Amino acid sequence: MKKQLPYSLSIVLCFLWVYSGYSQAPKPLQLGVNLDDNGAFVNMVNHTNRYNKASGYDKNGWPTSDFDLTLLDGRPATEWTNSIDDPEKYRIDYSGRYAGSFVGSATFRATGTSVSIENLMYDSLKNTTQFELVVGGYPNANHALVFLGFTNTRRTAQDTLRSGITELKVLRPGYAITTNKVFTDEYIALCKAADFAAYRYYNVQNIWDGEPTYPARTTWDKRKTPQDASQRTLAGINGKRDGWCWEYIIELANILNKDIWVCLHMSCDSGYVTSLAQMLKEKLNPGINIYVENSNEVWSPTQLTHGPYNQAEATFNKITFDENYARRSVELSKWFALVYGQQEINNKIRVILAGQHAYNGRSDNHLNYIKKVFGAPKDFIYATSTALYFGSTKESNPDPRVVNQGMAEDITAQISNAQSGFYRLNHISKAKNWELKGGVTSYEGGPHMPSGGGTVNLASQILSHRTEEMGAITKLNYSEGWQALGGGLAMYFTLTSAYNRYGCWGITDDYTKPDRNFKMKALRELTAPPIGVSEEVPQEQNVTIGYDSKNQTVHIQTLTSTPTIAIYSVLGEVVMRSASSVASVRTLPRGLYTVVVQTDNGQQFVKSILHGGE
């Protein structure tokens, strides 16, 4: 039988505040999410760049010869080795009838697992081929593995044989070939499953792997467009290294109608940036604010494509690696000001100066350089940024709930241990001291375990993400672990992903089921406005909940005749319960605790105590 929490931890967390004072009505958390493309596009072809056997491609990336295409591989990791990481072996259902078409003619086949082509028809007047792709096999092994093969291709009747095809579409089940929808209804519903304040597009922009070799520049005329053969990188096909085109980013942003957070490749020249700013000004809903970040996690001169690019540019400019990152961030601020006007900097346009969570000194390098060369950073920069990731101090325990307890311990240490490089107040205090309007944001965050391909205790680590306690951990990370400390906008990483040895980053692991586990419910509760709660909770003069930090002792006293006093751990487990009017507790392990006093007249008073341990 599943062990039930002895107290409604979700209710407790709604009323927590740190260190002192009685609670006030909870305010909605400024929480956003990093988007990914799982389930995003109606047209499946936008999701794949796995073209092969083609002898060449045109300017939009369409093959100019016969070719094969891996359309879909929805198998859970690592089924291709006959072993699945996920102990529940969960797989998404991709079965159904997909409407498809392309311009040109071809001998056309589908192979893979339980797939077939039906109703294939070529219209010679329109030079268009239509078909239906049938995918079955769910929930059997290797479901959702689909390969397409095109031979005897001819773009037009006048073209030579094996000249390729263009404008391939394979639409998800339920969407007619004539639809104008770009994004699936399921994906939009997932994006809106909590009241997110902003959406970050870093994942879908291919920022990490999107830079050419310095001094090459990325120009506006070479950007991705809706006409390209894929909305993933086409670096080896037509030279376009970016991900989603800006037209699609803007379309989704307008549907969601919330603030957007975009990252810009360091190689984008001034013409690219100002052209983008003009497009956003003309096409984005006017009420949407724009967070602008220079690349992502520019920490190492050898990291993927952006690290070497920043280092080479820094060498050319005769400044340090960190100084060049800061210089470029100010440059973006100035270029956006050319289009929007200086008055919109730190208002509609919010330039982010991202740092490194474990090394807050990197932000010192950034800010001091800006002050020395350009002036007060607050004139150009809206906020600094860090990452609110957490692991587990008990990652090797076979019990998923114990793994959860270790997550709570890790978060609590980041809140309370000033000697740790992960101490979150380092970043919050720094942004406050520099008087940045947006303070400090979090560009990413969430559980950082498992990751990196490790398999030790993998099953329990994956299962820990599906426990009810995981919802409480999610709340702890963003409520007590950030909002209560004075942190600003925080971005969860990421909206959806499979759960395997490479991470359990997604709020859900099935884009069609936002609430498959407890993470989305927790985020929904964190972001929802309070309902039916007065703004001020009157102080009860007959109840005292105190904490003596010097002696590390919790004191509770009430003058009512029949009180109930209880102390709960962060996972909602009772560590002390008393019917006495006075209680004093010292022998508690280090951690975050909730003290709840229920008076004889039915009033409840709650306080969060960050206990240092004996």
Write out the two tokens for 390: 């957490």
The pLDDT assigned to 531 comes to: 47
The pLDDT assigned to 593 comes to: 74
Q: What average pLDDT does this structure show over 340-368?
A: 98
The pLDDT assigned to 556 comes to: 76
Residue appearing with tokens 């906008």: 489
Query: Could you write out the DSSP letters of every residue in 255-278?
Result: HHTSEEEEEE-TTB-HHHHHHHHH
- Cβ–Cβ contacts within 10 Å for residue 111, how many? 12
Confidence of residue 16 (pLDDT cuts 50, 70, 90): very low
In the chain, residues under CATH classification 3.20.20.80 are 27-38+184-527
Residue 108, helix vs strand vs coil: strand
Q: Where are the alpha helices (DSSP H) in 341-457?
A: 361-373, 400-416, 425-433
The pLDDT assigned to 614 comes to: 43
Span 353-363, pLDDT tens digits: 999 999 999 99
Residue appearing with tokens 């958390």: 29
The pLDDT assigned to 385 comes to: 98
Instruction: Identify the residue with better confidence: 2 or 77.
Output: 77
How far CA 328 is from CA of 291, 350, 354, in Å, comes to 15, 15, 12
Span 393-446, pLDDT tens digits: 999 999 999 999 999 999 999 999 999 999 999 999 999 999 999 999 999 999
The pLDDT assigned to 612 comes to: 57
| pLDDT for residue 3 is more than 80 | no
CATH for 27-38+184-527 is 3.20.20.80
Residue 162, helix vs strand vs coil: coil
The pLDDT assigned to 607 comes to: 73
| pLDDT for residue 541 is more than 80 | no
The pLDDT assigned to 561 comes to: 63
- Closest by CA to 565, choosing from 592, 539, 593, 604, is 604
Confidence of residue 589 (pLDDT cuts 50, 70, 90): confident
| pLDDT for residue 586 is more than 80 | no
The pLDDT assigned to 568 comes to: 77
Span 176-198, pLDDT tens digits: 999 999 999 999 999 999 999 99
C-alpha of 246 from chain center? 19
Q: What percent of the chain has pLDDT over 70?
A: 89
Span 273-292, pLDDT tens digits: 999 999 999 999 999 999 99
The pLDDT assigned to 204 comes to: 98
Confidence of residue 602 (pLDDT cuts 50, 70, 90): low
- Closest by CA to 169, choosing from 204, 120, 130, is 130
Confidence of residue 24 (pLDDT cuts 50, 70, 90): very low
Angle, CA of 605, 606 and 612, to the nearest 5°: 140
What average pLDDT is seen over the chain?
A: 90
Between 270-283 and 321-340, two packed helices, what is the crossing angle to 10 degrees?
40
Residue burial 15-34, b: 16+ Cβ < 10 Å; e: rest:
bbbbeeebbeebeebbbbbb
The pLDDT assigned to 544 comes to: 75
| pLDDT for residue 154 is more than 70 | yes
How far CA 49 is from CA of 184, 252, 353, in Å, comes to 20, 21, 32
Write out the two tokens for 497: 């992903």
Q: Which CATH architecture has domain 18-25+540-611?
A: Sandwich (2.60)
The pLDDT assigned to 539 comes to: 44
Confidence of residue 571 (pLDDT cuts 50, 70, 90): low
Q: What average pLDDT does this structure show over 123-152?
A: 98
H or E stretch including 473?
helix 469-478
The pLDDT assigned to 560 comes to: 65
| pLDDT for residue 380 is more than 70 | yes
Q: What average pLDDT does this structure show over 541-566?
A: 71
| pLDDT for residue 603 is more than 90 | no
Span 65-108, pLDDT tens digits: 999 999 999 999 999 999 999 999 999 999 999 999 999 999 99
Confidence of residue 536 (pLDDT cuts 50, 70, 90): very low
In the chain, residues under CATH classification 2.60.40.3080 are 18-25+540-611
Q: How far, in Å, CA of 571 to CA of 215, rounded?
A: 52
